[in-house]
Amino acid sequence: MKKNKCVFLDRDGVLNKDYVDYAYTLEKFEVLPGVPEALNKLKDAGFKLVILTNQSGIVKGIYKKEDVYICHNALQEACDHAIDDMFYAPLHEKWSNSLSRKPGTLMFERAIYKYNADMENTWMIGDKERDLIPAEKVGIQHRIQVDNPLVEGSVATHYAKNLLEAVDKIILANQE
């Protein structure tokens, strides 16, 4: 079975503007500048694109899973349907334990298995350390933190100011 180059992406703060009180309505769901171009560059380079996102607002009763899909469809429309899949964890540690919720690894393990990820050519892009910790745990060697500067001891292997810069790093590394 063919192995696939994959890029796993956190959603809020990487693909769309992050809000303290959640981005769950179309009015608040704002795709960040450069995201459509970045995702299409990755598709053109042969990568599978998979969103791995915590969505604890569901268990908190703030929004419903249907709202997650409405926003996902808006993202797909904005990005020419470049995204191959989305895994989300609707739980929160205050209400229940979940291996799916980052920094747990279950979403990653499911995506790696489903897409037969070539671990030498798989990347994780997140804006927070908790996005990158599970990537390291499952053996993803390339971990890019965007937007927030790296701190000493971070598990990130690269830093980029935004998704487009991160994608340029991936494309360059893929050509070597």
110 among the known binding-site residues? no
Output Rg (C-alpha) for the chain, integer angstroms: 15
168 among the known binding-site residues? no
- Reduced to 3 states, what is the DSSP secondary structure of residue 168? helix
69 among the known binding-site residues? no
- Write down the catalytic residue from 12, 84, 118, 147: 12
- The partner residues of 144 in beta bridges, in order of sequence, read 125, 158
- Write down the catalytic residue from 10, 84, 85, 168: 10
**Annotated catalytic residue 85:** no
Burial of 20 (0-12, 13-18, 19+ CB in 10 A): exposed
20 among the known binding-site residues? yes
**Token pair 């809000």 is at which residue?**
19
Helix (H), strand (E) at residue 125: strand 117-126
19 among the known binding-site residues? yes
21 among the known binding-site residues? yes
146 among the known binding-site residues? no
Helix axis angle for 129-137 and 106-114, nearest 10°, is 60
130 among the known binding-site residues? no
Nearest to 114 by CA among 149, 87, 76, 145: 87
22 among the known binding-site residues? yes
Which sequence positions are flagged as catalytic?
10, 12
Binding positions = 10-12, 18-22, 53-56, 101-102, 127-128
- Which residues sit in the known binding site for Mg(2+)? 10, 12, 127-128
> Which residues sit in the known binding site for substrate?
10-12, 18-22, 53-56, 101-102, 128
